[in-house]
Chain A
Amino acid sequence: EPEVTQTPSHQVTQMGQEVILRCVPISNHLYFYWYRQILGQKVEFLVSFYNNEISEKSEIFDDQFSVERPDGSNFTLKIRSTKLEDSAMYFCASIQARNTGELFFGEGSRLTVL
């Protein structure tokens, strides 16, 4: 069964360092998302991406964050200068079309900022 894959599964970084989290969405999907879940808290929407541009973003998604689809298969989330409060699980998700409803999530990348 096709699945969304994410790498790395866990990354530890020092505060102020740049981090890139990678995702390979399901191949025929057109809409891509990043969500994050701080330990013990809700899953929060960060950004949606369609047709090589951001379609929606939340207040969390500030100038420290960026997304890119560099090669038609990978979908990346970059955090330019990590802060302690960026420690969380980051989930990538994809959907084939707007009216299909179900999002397919990856297993997540756990980011720990020291």
Chain B
Amino acid sequence: SQQGEEDPQALSIQEGENATMNCSYKTSINNLQWYRQNSGRGLVHLILIRSNEREKHSGRLRVTLDTSKKSSSLLITASRAADTASYFCATDSGSARQLTFGSGTQLTVLP
């Protein structure tokens, strides 16, 4: 798989449920970030986890990082219809801080 691959590609859940998205990558990283993109809009930064961190929380978001498995997960708890969007992981491994994005998970939260 390529750097920064998410699964599932699409996820549909009911409002109030939790949503978990996974990301795998191949090379060593400085940090891993999660972004959100509403259809046709720009990318919004959600959370960053550094390579020496294992878990991070921000509001309803929980991110884990396992560098031994080169994988990360994003958990959105108590989902809302407004959480409907595409979610991308992005790895930062270069000296110029360019990001390598995954192909994204399309999350649909049904009201």
Contact = CB atoms under 8 A, between A and B. Distances in A.
Contact of B92 (A93, A101, A110): A101
Interface of B: 4, 31, 33, 35, 40-45, 48, 50, 88, 90, 92, 94-104
Interface in A19-35: 31, 33, 35
A113 interface: no
A55 B99 contact: no
Contacts of B104: 42
Interface in A22-56: 31, 33, 35, 41-45, 48, 50, 55-56
A41 B4 CA distance: 13
B21 to A, nearest CB: 15
B45 A55 contact: no
A56 B42 contact: no
Interface of A: 31, 33, 35, 41-45, 48, 50, 55-56, 58, 91, 93, 95, 98, 101-108, 110
Q: Indicate the member of A48, A95, A101 with the most B CB atoms within 10 Å.
A: A101
B97 A31 contact: yes
A107 B41 contact: yes
B33 A56 contact: no
Given A42-B103, A91-B43, A108-B42, A101 B48 contact: yes
Contacts of B92: 101
A107 B40 CA distance: 9
